[in-house]
Amino acid sequence: MEQIRKIVFAAALFVAASVYGQESPIDDSDVVQLPQVELSGDKETTEFITREQMDRRGDSDLIDAIRWVPGLVPLDAGGARNESGFTMRGMGQNTVPVYLDGVPWGDPYGSQIDYSRFLTTDIESVSVNKGYSSMMLGSNNMGGVIVMRTAKPKEPFEATLKSSLSLDGKGAYAGNLQTFSAGTRLDMFYAKASFTWRDVDHWRLPESFVPSDDDKPGNGGNPQKKGDRLWSKSSDMKISALFGFTPAETIDIWASYTYSDSDKGVSPPNVNGTSYSVWEWPYVRRHTVNVNGEWTTDKFFLSAMAFFDKYDNRLYPYPVFGGSAIGDAAYNAWLAGNSTTSDYDDYTFGTTVQGSYNINERNKVAANLDFKQFSHKGFDKYFGTDDFKQNADVSEDLVFAGAEYTLRPAKPLTLVGGLGVNIYVPGNMDQWKTSVAGATKDTTTNEPETQAAPTAQIGAFYDIDSGHELHLTWALKNRYPTLKEKFSSLGTGKNQPNPDLTAEYANHFELGYKGSIPGNISITTAVFYTRAFDRITNVDIDTATKITQYQNIDETAFYGFEFGTEIYVSHFVSFGGAVGYTKSEIISSKSGYTQISGVPEFTANGYAVIKPLETLLHDGVVRNVSIVPGFEFTGSRALGNKIKTSQEALPAYTVASIMVSADFTDYASLSFTVDNLFDTLYESSQYFPQAGRSFNFTLTGRY
């Protein structure tokens, strides 16, 4: 009943505001035009997230920015790695690459990363593409692709300063976020730089949290008690710079540099039982350099890009505790034979060349050639030793060639067809078995062969009239296994490498509608069906010794519908929302899997922007006041994958928030936000509850 009460209250708050409208979309004509995507006609929708939307909701990282997209389910931090991720129409994030200005942002080893560490305060927009996507977006996007873009400066001088203070539910200091950016645009040059720092001192569990009563004789019980979440301290820093040169109206050359450094702290323990892992990351660092060039005319578009992305990661793993405390005899005994430090020394290097030619008003051709090299070197350091021992030196190349043809046989109809090939070229495959005594070369790994995986798609887009479009699309997408899936020993030696893994595939079918009434309403809706085969699954190959291996053995299906809307009725109030339904099925599984975990059938969210005093205060000290209530509903999700007599599930939850902001001048504003308004106790991962009620004050200055 409590859950129902919260849903009804949040929905009522949303509906009460919905008699009014939506924020007008912003002009996006000056965002960085990536080689991978065309931006003509992009406007604010539930799948194209603008800077204004992120500011309106107080989003500071990628997980916050995309959690409102229908069909996309955020997975907030949890598990031993304390990572935040997402699923898209039921498919995991390793099938959905995330790009920052054309650079893949997943780590080179596992193509995943904690996306809550990616700060978005300097990002102009986020575009979410599900299933069908342009061949110009490259390879390995079996589930879809997310494209983030930075902004070029528009004025001779512009600057933004943002300072935030966070308090926990009891009013105690919980953290802060500081952002500063400045830019300039001159006749032939432009430049922009930004700095962001986020410090999380701690966060507090909801007051309804009940600690585990597991306190058996001989051990100390679970350490998590009521109040502050254990080991929830972390910090993130991001520095970015952009410099451009425009010697002619048709030529644009620019280079960018991004540095990010995260101290994730110590992973909070699960809150049930007395056995848990404790991991610590003193740093997760990236240096990214990106160089771009474009030439644009009425007929031709040609672009080239090259990047180098250096990724370094340090991990301190501690033992699985059974009531033992750090520093006691049991821990010291564990130290004697185990690695106490794990380092990643990784990089990704890539180049892209693409172009298009407008043959005439009815015909257009485009082509893309993309190369990426992924490299991973792993190292272990053991207790009582001074040197790191290398455990892996693995790498691979991915080459993608794709072409698209656009045909407009009649004025309202556009047909787009694409063909491509995704080529895998093996590189280094050296692995070592490490111990306190040293490292022994592993010679059991087979040498894989070069592979080629086709991709194809076709879409029909019918303009009913101006601002209304129906589309019917089919896409065959694929993804090659990551270096981690091929070679990982999962840190325990219990995973058998399988370098002969091949690509997995998905057929996507979608019927959808996108429409807008200028200045008033926009709607995005679709029904979809996805059939995936040769799925890469981790299975038991020796139950006695618990040896596992990744294999291409499963076939799955996902189908459902999505509906999102943004409505603007007046300057006083606006609202938006989305509903998603995703049904997942296992068509066949040699691994014994009976269900797909972590995929809720129903999701919903909504928000309103209420401006009750805009006209009255326009000429006063306070120019405008906005009240932004919102809610997010996530349905129950299955937990277990293997056959069970009774299937477990995480319960559904609803989380509400509210923001009040005031513009004091054209250059300054202050906002106050309450997150998790009802102090709801909920979990994205079992036994890893999320933060309770918290408060945030943000002062923003713009020039």
Q: Which of 355-359, 381-385, 440-444, 697-701 has the lowest mean pLDDT?
A: 440-444
Residue with tokens 């879809």: 144
Task: Read off the pLDDT band of 305 (50, 70, 90).
Answer: very high
pLDDT for the residue numbered 570: 82
The string of pLDDT tens digits covering residues 569-584 is 787 888 889 999 999 9
d(C-alpha 404, C-alpha 458), whole Å:
9
Burial level of 659, CB count in 10 A (0-12/13-18/19+)?
buried
Residue 605: alpha-carbon gap to chain centroid: 18
d(C-alpha 414, C-alpha 473), whole Å:
12
In 264-334, DSSP assigns E strands to: 265-266, 275-276, 279-296, 300-317, 321-322
Q: Average pLDDT for residues 388-415, to the nearest whole number?
A: 95
pLDDT for the residue numbered 333: 66
Q: Average pLDDT for residues 67-91, to the nearest whole number?
A: 87
Partners of 378 in the β-ladder: 344, 392
Task: Read off the pLDDT band of 15 (50, 70, 90).
Answer: very low
Burial level of 528, CB count in 10 A (0-12/13-18/19+)?
buried
Q: Which of 33-42, 63-72, 211-220, 370-379 has the lowest mean pLDDT?
A: 33-42
| Strand, coil or helix: 611 | coil
Q: Residue 146 has what DSSP assignment?
A: E
Percent helix, strand and coil across the chain, each to the nearest 5 = 10, 55, 35
Partners of 26 in the β-ladder: none
- How does DSSP assign 475-501, residue by residue? EEEEEPPPHHHHH--TTTT-B---TT-
In 219-297, DSSP assigns E strands to: 234-248, 251-263, 265-266, 275-276, 279-296
pTM of the predicted model, to two decimals? 0.88
The 10 Å Cβ neighbour count of residue 544 is 6
Percent of the chain past pLDDT 90, that is, above it, reads: 57
> For residue 477, what are the contacts with CB-CB under 8 A and spacing of at least 6?
131, 141, 142, 143, 455, 457, 505, 506, 508
Comparing C-alpha atoms, which of 41, 51, 143, 64 is closest to residue 97? 143
Task: Read off the pLDDT band of 10 (50, 70, 90).
Answer: very low
The string of pLDDT tens digits covering residues 423-444 is 999 999 998 888 888 888 877 7
* CA distances in angstroms from 291 to 34, 138, 195, 259, 352, listed in the order given: 11, 18, 20, 15, 11
* CA distances in angstroms from 601 to 112, 560, 581, 583, 630, listed in the order given: 24, 9, 5, 6, 21
CB 15 within 8 A of CB 537: no
Residue with tokens 């993804």: 479
Q: Average pLDDT for residues 614-623, to the nearest whole number?
A: 57
Residue with tokens 């999701």: 603
pLDDT for the residue numbered 322: 52
Task: Read off the pLDDT band of 464 (50, 70, 90).
Answer: confident
Q: Average pLDDT for residues 189-203, to the nearest whole number?
A: 97
* Token pair in block for residue 181: 């950016």
pLDDT for the residue numbered 448: 85
Per-residue buried b or exposed e for 264-298, using 16+ beta carbons within 10 Å of the residue's own CB: bbbbbbbbeebebebbbbeebbbebebebbbeeee
Residue with tokens 């477990």: 648
CB 245 within 8 A of CB 267: no
Comparing C-alpha atoms, which of 368, 454, 351 is closest to residue 405? 368
Partners of 425 in the β-ladder: 397
Percent of the chain past pLDDT 70, that is, above it, reads: 86
What domains, with CATH codes, occur in the chain? 2-702 (2.40.170.20)
d(C-alpha 491, C-alpha 561), whole Å:
40
d(C-alpha 499, C-alpha 50), whole Å:
41
pLDDT for the residue numbered 620: 57
d(C-alpha 112, C-alpha 105), whole Å:
8
Q: How many residues does the chain have?
A: 703
Burial level of 79, CB count in 10 A (0-12/13-18/19+)?
middle
Residue 583: alpha-carbon gap to chain centroid: 22
| Strand, coil or helix: 679 | coil
Per-residue buried b or exposed e for 17-43, using 16+ beta carbons within 10 Å of the residue's own CB: bbebbbbebeebeebbbbbbbebeebe
Q: Which of 102-106, 329-333, 571-575 has the lowest mean pLDDT?
A: 329-333
Partners of 566 in the β-ladder: 522, 576
Measured in Å, how far apart are the chain's first and last C-alpha atoms? 49
d(C-alpha 247, C-alpha 228), whole Å:
56
Per-range mean pLDDT, top range of 44-58, 73-87, 101-115, 643-657: 101-115
The whole-chain average pLDDT of the chain stands at 85
